[in-house]
Amino acid sequence: MKSAQCINAPNESKSQQAPAARRWLTVAEVAEELGCHPISVYRLCSRRKIPHAKASGVGVRIDRADLERFMQGSKVPAKRTAKF
């Protein structure tokens, strides 16, 4: 009896990997993560609120670690209730 041969699925290209598995995110992926419009992400980048990289022919990319730091730093404390 022959042993069963393991058939590996073809490797996914980097562009097909899940966003959580990649280090560099597109503007659309960041917008989805933040729950805003992609134009808002471009504005944050142009105002230097989110560190980013621009590559010719590729576009703007944002490092996942920088996005996490931005999200941690932009938390708004809960609103205090008025005491009457």
Cα distance between residue 82 and residue 14, in whole Å: 51
Tally of domains within the chain: 1
pLDDT of residue 6: 45
Express each pLDDT in 12-60 by its tens digit.
Answer: 555 566 666 789 999 999 999 999 999 999 999 999 999 999 988 999 9
Which contiguous run of DSSP H or E holds residue 34? helix 27-34
Name the DSSP class of 23: S
Q: What's the rounded Cα separation, in Å, for the pair 23 and 42?
A: 19
Q: What separation in angstroms does the CA of 2 have from each of 5, 7, 9?
A: 9, 15, 21
Query: What's the pLDDT band for 9 if we cut at 50, 70, 90?
Result: very low
Q: What is the pTM of this model?
A: 0.65
Is residue 44 a part of any domain in this protein?
yes
Q: Do the domain assignments include residue 38?
A: yes
Q: Is 41 a domain residue?
A: yes
Structural domain harbouring 55: 26-72
User: 4 vs 41, which has greater pLDDT?
Assistant: 41
Rounded to an integer, what distance in angstroms lies between the CA atom of residue 17 and that of residue 47? 29
Residue 17 within a domain: no
